[in-house]
Amino acid sequence: MYQAIKEIIDSTLGVSSILEKPRDKSLGHFALPTFSFAKTLRKAPQMIAQEFAQKLENLPQIASVSVVNGYVNFTLSNAFLAQCAWEFLQGKMESKHTKSQKEHILLEYVSANPTGPLHIGHARGAVFGDSLARIGRFLGYKIYTEYYVNDAGAQIEKLGKSIYYAGRHLVFSESRELPSECYQGEYIFELAQDARESLGDTAFKNMESLDALNVFGRNKMLDEIKQNLAQVGISFDSYVSEKTLFSEWDSTLQCLQAHQGVYEEDKKLWLKSTEYGDEKDRVIVRENGEATYLAGDIIYHRNKFKREFDRYINIWGADHHGYIARVKAAIEFLGFESQKLEVLLAQMVALLKDGIPYKMSKRAGNFILMKDVVDDIGADALRLMFLSKKPDTHLEFDVNDLQKQDASNPLYYINYANARIHTLFTKASISMESQYNASMQSYVESLKDAPENLRDLLVLALGLQKVLNDAFEQRLVNKVVDYLYALAGELHHFYTTTKILNTENEKQILAVLIVVAHSITLGLDLLGVKAKVSM
């Protein structure tokens, strides 16, 4: 609806407008500020607004126009709203007004080391990335999702050693206490038992089997990570192995050298990252000739940029904030445009239960496992709660609040609105199916004399497309949650203040309520949440 009326107004006025919502909704559905046109048109905003209003008042899509202090306020006609509603229900509006350039985007997120199960900190970035991809694809962007598997270097060797010592306990009854340099937790002993069954007792005879244990542990943990993600409806188009990419290290280093991006000092190889805003230069090869963690990321980003996407989005934990400058510097020294890389940060989560910190997992040591929380509250509750705030802000919530059946629980509140509408249709004289199958003419006719409160509810329900566009372009998925919560609130208010069934306006009201239900169902789906039709 927003894009449709904006295109009509822009064509009529010959300008590119910005439409706002008036603070006082009695002024109209939209307000067009004219201040930005004063310099080019060489007129006062009030005069421009008067001229614009005269051109708009004859449009059939607009019912009324008024001018207030340089703003052109207008109300949409019932016929235009009915047409937009019908198109929305038919799925036409969902693809008609998408972004024209259709950017091709590589979205990388989660990318947790395959050395342990996913914890609750990983979950926030995972849910955010998946929902961002869902919304972007719906809007017409070509989005390819990727998980970068950090399976080279010390952390994988540490995993193999951890499994080895746990296996020594299982096979040879050595101490169950793992060395301090090992990963801790029951999952290590589970891996050792699995390795014993797969590789045999000889795998723990001596350290000659460490390479095999490294690979075995990596594969098992990656499988578990995929299962953890699938539990909340997340999958990836591809998984890229850091270890495999190291075959491109020589050519990557040559590329850095060709662009004068590295130098040698103290028997180390340094990246000149200060030339692009980093606080200091960074080591990429140590004195012993081993590549650093940064070297792996440089190889990976060269591999990504060689695939020629229009934009690259990385979702990292907030602790990686200082890492951005050095990676962007490397991209420039590789001969690419670092502004094409966008890094979004996801803050950690503080989880409570009955007001006290959520219990750590004995299986994983000092972590709260994502799987444990999903088993406790469900995937839908976890997703919606994680998406309720900007990803770069601190998030704290008590899982017991998600059991409340009131407005303090957004999942319940939004679902209850949808369920109320579905329940009405089970008791009404017309069905939802008949509303979806109605012709545009009959739909327009049914809303011809809709009262103001019903028309306002319809305008809000048709605002989903604009919210989705803003949420994706600003990378703020929480805007969708906020919108659905507000829409649910308006529905609850309308429901409790208006008699609906067995009235002369029943058909008219239900023609609007089905649009509300459609917006809630679609909005939740794009957040990875299944809308409930009964409660």
Q: What is the pLDDT of residue 97?
A: 41
Closest by CA to 403, choosing from 384, 381, 424, is 381
The three-point CA angle 306-311-312 to 5° equals 75
Q: What is the pLDDT of residue 101?
A: 58
The 3-state DSSP class for residue 99 equals coil
What phi and psi values does residue 191 have, to the nearest 5 degrees? -65, -40
- Mean pLDDT over each residue of the chain, to the nearest integer: 93
The CA distances from residue 310 to 27, 42, 137, 147, 421, in Å, are 41, 39, 15, 19, 42
Angle, nearest 10°, between helix axes 506-526 and 410-427? 140
Q: Are 197 and 189 in contact (CB under 8 A)?
A: no
Q: b/e string for 384-398 if b means 16 or more Cβ within 10 A? A: bbbbbbbbeeebebb
Spell out the long-range contacts of 25-29 with Cβ–Cβ below 8 A and sequence spacing 24 or more.
25/456, 27/66, 27/68, 27/73, 28/64, 28/65, 28/66, 28/73, 28/74, 28/75, 29/74, 29/75, 29/76, 29/456, 29/459
The pair of structure tokens assigned to 65 is 């126009």
Spell out the long-range contacts of 279-288 with Cβ–Cβ below 8 A and sequence spacing 24 or more.
279/322, 279/325, 282/326
Q: What is the pLDDT of residue 435?
A: 85
Q: What is the pLDDT of residue 96?
A: 40
For CA atoms 484, 485, 490, 491, the dihedral sign is positive
Q: Are 25 and 463 in contact (CB under 8 A)?
A: no
Whole-number Å distance between alpha carbons of 395 and 392: 9
**Which residue ranges in the chain fall short of pLDDT 70?**
93-101
Whole-number Å distance between alpha carbons of 59 and 63: 8
Whole-number Å distance between alpha carbons of 453 and 461: 12
Closest by CA to 150, choosing from 247, 284, 240, 285, is 240
Per residue in 228-256, pLDDT tens?
999 999 999 999 999 999 999 999 999 99
The three-point CA angle 311-313-318 to 5° equals 155
- pTM equals 0.93
Length of the chain in terms of residues written: 535
Which contiguous run of DSSP H or E holds residue 317? strand 311-317
Give every CB contact of residue 472 below 8 A, 6+ residues apart in sequence. Answer: 132, 135, 136, 139, 141
The 3-state DSSP class for residue 519 equals helix
β-strands 349-353, 341-346 pairing: unpaired
